[in-house]
Structure formats: structure tokens, C-alpha cells
């Protein structure tokens, strides 16, 4: 029997950001953000723009080049703009947080939760110093294991993490083993969407199923706040990482292709498809 009280975060204060609020937060922390027809767009990949809120579902009159100097953009579409769709956004999607309990998970994940609840305490991380002192070694361990992303110095890691402690729409959860941090999950809410942003686990503690416990606890929390969000996104579909996709599916996340509109400057579309096929897929939903 799983004691879901072990994953109770009902006292955690968390609100959903408006699109403007997250745009302001991103801009304050160095991201290029532009306002076009009342919608906020951010730059990535050296000049490709997307809404600061991926799942905003723009209307047809809002779909324009965010800035004359961009070389591409992508945006999900409102139902009324369906005829503009020429691509999809492939995401890991969960649409029923209010009905979540352990029975919603696969048998294997329920077993993993039992392991987690016996060994791990899950609670919010409220101090940056704790996350830096105990989280940086976990980050180095995870980077050595996965090779994902750029390896940050301790000072750069601290600067990056500091931004998560100055906004009321961001959750930083830790999984603790005998008082020691073994993993952390950073998530945030925008409008009616929750995004699972960053999950970092130390290699030696993965057997304690901290990642499963952290995600389940956050989903349980969303379910305890009726009306806060109606959907949860656990990143883009990394089709080249089958193990990660299976892990997310067992947590209840479906792979959903959200209708979207993409545009690239002439020649860029084909070059992306040839040189970076998996990134191209995540931008367009196309093989």
C-alpha cells in the first residue's frame, strides 16, 4: 500500500504566472523577449522565436514574425486558427491533474513509489544556499552520466539557480535521504499549464526512485489545487531517447502532437532537417 501522505505538499504556496509576468521574469534574467500584437516571444537557437508560454495557442491574427531579424518562429494554435497549421509541437502531456492518485500510474511506477516513500522525504527547497551546496555535486554527477547540456562552473550554476527563487510561480522540490539532498525538480505554472522544467538526480541515489517521487508529489499538489492548471507538460518528445520516453509514459504522460505554425527563412528548413534531424523534429513535429 502506498501512503500518499508521503507526497503531500498541500502547504506549498504556488501561483500561476500570467504570460506578461513570465516574459518580464525571463527578460530580467537575460533572455531576449519581444512583444508582438500583445503576445510575448522569446529567442532561442540563435534567432528562432517561440512564445514564452509554449502552449499559449495563438489566434490567427497573432501569428506574425515576432521581429524582422528572426530566421524562424514556432507557435501552437488556437482551434480557430487550425487552418494555419503546417507543423506540430511534440510534447509529453498530462491532462488530468485533479484526478491523479497512485492508481493512475503503471504497476512498475507504483512499485517505485513504494521504494521512494520508504527512503525519501520530499519537500520544497526554500534556500538557494542549500540547492547550490548540495545540488551542484548532483548536477555534476547527472552531467557526467547523461552528457546533457553545457557543463557549468559552480558560480554559473549558482547564478542560474538564483533566478528560480525570485518568482512565486516556480516550485523547487527536493528529495532528501536522511536529510541529504539526492535530487531536485524545478517546475512552473503559466496560465493553465504547468511545466516540469528540470529534473536532476545524483547517480548513486537513482535506485531510491527520487525522480518518480518528485514528479508524483508535484502532480499530486496540482491536483490538490482545483483550477490552478488543466494540463502538465513534461518537455518535448526526445524520440532518440527511448528509455526516457518510456519513463514518462509510465508516469502517465502521453506523447501529443499539438497543432502549430512554423516559418523559416528560405533554405533554413532543409539545412536543419539534414544537420539536426532530432532538433528539427522537436521544432516541427516532422521527421
CATH of domain 4-16+93-256: 3.40.630.30
Site of grid cell 546533457: 148
Site of grid cell 492548471: 229
Residues 6 or more apart whose Cβ sits within 8 Å of residue 28: none
Per-residue three-class SS string for the chain: CCCHHHHCCCCCCCCCECHHHHHHHHHHCCCCEEEECCEEEEEECCCEEEECCHHHCECHHHCCCCCCCCCEEEEEECHHHHHHCCEEEEEEEECCHHHCCHHHCCHHHHHHHHHHHHHCEEEECCCHHHHHHHHHHHHHHHHHHHCCCCCCCHHHHHHHHHHHHCCCCEEEEEEEECCEEEEEEEEEEECCEEEEEEEEECHHHHHHCHHHHHHHHHHHHHHCCCCCCCEEEEEECCCCCHHHHHHHHHCCCEEEEEEEEEEECCCHHHHHHHHCHHHHHHHHCCC
Pick from 189, 194, 260, 234: which is nearest to 22 by CA? 189
Give the model's pLDDT for residue 139.
96
Give the model's pLDDT for residue 59.
96
Break the chain into its structural domains and give their ranges.
4-16+93-256, 19-89+258-284
Residues 6 or more apart whose Cβ sits within 8 Å of residue 105: 113, 216, 250, 251, 252
Give the model's pLDDT for residue 2.
60
Residues 6 or more apart whose Cβ sits within 8 Å of residue 88: 257, 258, 259, 260, 284, 285
**For every one of its 287 residues, what pLDDT tens digit does the chain have, with 9 covering 90 and above?**
566 666 778 889 899 999 999 999 999 999 999 999 899 999 987 789 999 999 999 999 999 899 988 999 999 999 999 999 999 999 999 987 776 777 777 788 888 888 998 899 999 999 999 999 999 999 999 999 988 888 999 999 999 999 999 999 999 999 999 999 999 999 999 999 999 999 999 998 888 999 999 999 999 899 888 889 999 999 999 999 999 999 899 888 999 999 999 999 998 889 989 999 999 999 999 98
Give the model's pLDDT for residue 240.
92
What is the pTM (predicted TM-score) of this model? 0.93
Give the model's pLDDT for residue 4.
63
Amino acid at each position: 500500500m502506498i501512503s500518499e501522505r508521503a507526497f503531500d505538499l498541500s502547504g506549498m504556496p504556488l501561483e500561476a504566472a500570467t504570460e506578461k509576468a513570465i516574459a518580464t521574469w525571463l527578460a530580467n534574467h537575460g533572455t531576449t523577449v519581444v512583444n508582438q500584437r500583445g503576445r510575448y516571444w522569446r529567442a532561442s537557437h540563435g534567432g528562432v522565436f517561440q512564445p514564452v508560454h509554449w502552449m499559449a495557442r495563438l489566434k490567427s491574427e497573432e501569428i506574425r514574425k515576432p521581429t524582422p531579424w528572426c530566421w524562424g518562429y514556432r507557435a501552437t494554435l488556437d482551434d480557430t486558427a487550425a487552418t494555419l497549421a503546417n507543423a506540430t509541437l511534440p510534447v509529453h502531456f498530462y491532462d488530468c491533474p485533479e484526478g491523479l492518485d497512485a492508481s493512475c500510474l503503471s504497476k512498475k511506477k507504483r512499485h517505485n513509489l513504494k521504494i521512494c516513500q520508504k527512503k525519501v522525504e520530499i519537500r520544497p527547497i526554500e534556500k538557494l544556499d542549500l540547492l547550490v551546496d548540495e545540488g551542484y555535486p548532483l548536477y555534476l554527477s547527472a552531467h557526467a552520466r547523461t552528457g546533457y547540456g553545457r557543463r557549468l562552473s559552480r558560480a554559473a550554476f549558482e547564478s542560474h539557480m538564483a533566478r528560480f527563487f525570485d518568482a512565486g510561480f516556480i516550485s523547487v522540490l527536493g528529495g532528501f535521504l536522511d536529510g541529504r539532498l539526492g535530487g531536485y525538480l524545478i517546475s512552473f505554472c503559466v496560465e493553465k499549464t504547468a511545466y516540469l522544467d528540470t529534473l536532476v538526480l545524483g547517480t548513486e541515489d537513482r535506485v531510491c526512485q527520487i525522480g518518480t517521487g518528485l514528479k508524483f508529489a508535484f502532480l499530486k499538489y496540482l491536483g490538490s489545487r482545483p483550477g490552478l492548471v488543466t494540463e502538465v507538460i513534461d518537455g518535448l518528445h526526445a524520440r532518440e531517447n527511448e528509455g526516457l520516453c518510456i519513463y514518462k509514459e509510465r508516469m502517465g504522460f502521453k506523447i501529443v502532437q499539438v497543432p502549430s505554425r512554423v516559418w523559416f527563412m528560405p533554405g533554413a528548413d532543409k539545412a536543419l532537417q539534414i544537420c539536426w534531424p532530432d532538433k528539427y523534429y522537436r521544432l516541427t513535429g516532422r521527421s
